[in-house]
Amino acid sequence: MTPLLEVEGLGRAFGGVYALRDVSLAVTRGQTRAVIGPNGAGKSTLFNLISGHLRPDHGQVRYGGRRIDRLSPGKRARLGIATVFQGARLFAGMTALENVMVGAHARTRHGFASAAVRLPAHRREEAQIRADALAALARVGLHDWAHRPAEALPLGQQRSLQVARALCARPTLLLLDEPASGLRAAERRALAQLVESLGAEGLTIMLVEHDVALVTRLADQVSVLDLGAQIAAGTPTQIRRDENVIAAYLGPGHT
Ligand SMILES: Nc1ncnc2c1ncn2[C@@H]1O[C@H](COP(=O)(O)OP(=O)(O)OP(=O)(O)O)[C@@H](O)[C@H]1O
Ligand SMILES: [Mg+2]
């Protein structure tokens, strides 16, 4: 069966320095793939090349067997790729529901600006988006927060809200770039549980996460990047024993 996502020989340089170099990997449907590595290893660059926010200098990105590496981010989103960006911000002054709806408007044919005109087609679309947004909020456990200001949410729930925004698009592939960074232990556990349950429902997930215990719990496969290159790939158990990974990232004292 064709993997959902195939990255082949992918490379991207900034100012002559390769942020990502000749990376190849395949993500099968329903898999959770963690991407780990030191700061500046190229993890976010890889995600941006998959989501379309960056174009590659070399290589290909295929989704469902089709090349997508020249498509706009919007087209890739409509094919089913949704992203929670590293350090993503919420819209302050908007409710949780509005935050999710604004994300959804970005993908619709009419867009947010023209939705303001309120033609009948827009009103139907608006009602659908609202229903989808409420469902996405419920899915991440934020139904009761729908009409409260997004910035009033505790940080852990703000991250769940980002996930809801991504889920509103009903993605097939969800890219999560450090969704748990800066969260406290209890919040991390809650977020891990959410990611785990999304994976159990069959969503294909790519996750950047520094906590190896969390990666071991959530990931079927792990890719390890260092200085833009993939230095190892395998199951969490294989990765934890890999000498290159221990030398470049985990350190000798890891458990
Ligand atoms: N838009 C850009 N312009 C110039 N250099 C960039 C750009 N984006 C990334 N880089 C560089 O590419 C390299 C990889 O960056 P990237 O953000 O992909 O790393 P990362 O693994 O996500 O790191 P972190 O763990 O800190 O998020 C870094 O050296 C970074 O400075
Ligand atoms: Mg990053």
Per-residue pLDDT of the chain (255 residues; tens, 9 = 90+): 899 999 999 999 999 999 999 999 999 999 999 999 999 999 999 999 999 999 999 999 999 999 999 999 999 999 999 999 999 889 989 999 999 998 776 665 555 555 555 667 777 888 999 999 999 999 999 999 999 999 999 999 999 999 999 999 899 999 999 999 999 999 999 999 999 999 999 999 999 999 999 999 999 999 999 999 999 999 999 999 999 999 988 887 765
Residue closest via CA to ligand 1's atom 5 equals: 14
Residue closest via CA to ligand 1's atom 7 equals: 14
Ligand 1 centre and the CA of 10: distance in Å?
Answer: 15
pLDDT of residue 53: 96
Closest atom of ligand 1 relative to the 210 alpha carbon: 25
Q: Are 164 and 84 within 8 A, CB to CB?
A: no
pLDDT of residue 110: 53
**Is 55 close to ligand 1, i.e. is its CB under 6 Å away?**
no
Closest atom of ligand 1 relative to the 41 alpha carbon: 21
Protein residues with C-beta less than 5 angstroms from the ion ligand 2: 43-44, 86
Return d(Cα 214, Cα 192) in angstroms, integer: 7
Cβ neighbors of 34 (< 8 A, separation 6 or more) are 206, 207, 208, 209, 215, 218, 219, 221, 222, 223, 236
Ligand 2 centre and the CA of 179: distance in Å?
Answer: 11
**Is 49 close to ligand 1, i.e. is its CB under 6 Å away?**
no
Q: Which CATH number fits domain 1-80+173-186+200-255: 3.40.50.720, 3.40.50.300, 3.40.190.10, 3.90.950.20?
A: 3.40.50.300
pLDDT of residue 125: 83
Residue closest via CA to ligand 1's atom 4 equals: 14
**Domain span(s) for CATH 3.40.50.300 in the chain:** 1-80+173-186+200-255
Closest atom of ligand 1 relative to the 37 alpha carbon: 21
Ligand 2 centre and the CA of 125: distance in Å?
Answer: 34
In this structure, which ligand is nearest to the CA of 11? 1
Ligand 1 centre and the CA of 44: distance in Å?
Answer: 7
pLDDT of residue 124: 82
Closest atom of ligand 1 relative to the 45 alpha carbon: 18
> Of the candidates 13, 19, 168, which has an alpha carbon nearest to the alpha carbon of residue 97?
168
pLDDT of residue 243: 92
Helix (H, G, I), strand (E, B) or coil at 88: coil
102 token code pair: 């604004």
**Is 87 close to ligand 1, i.e. is its CB under 6 Å away?**
no
pTM for the whole thing?
Answer: 0.93
pLDDT of residue 115: 54
Return d(Cα 230, Cα 239) in angstroms, integer: 12
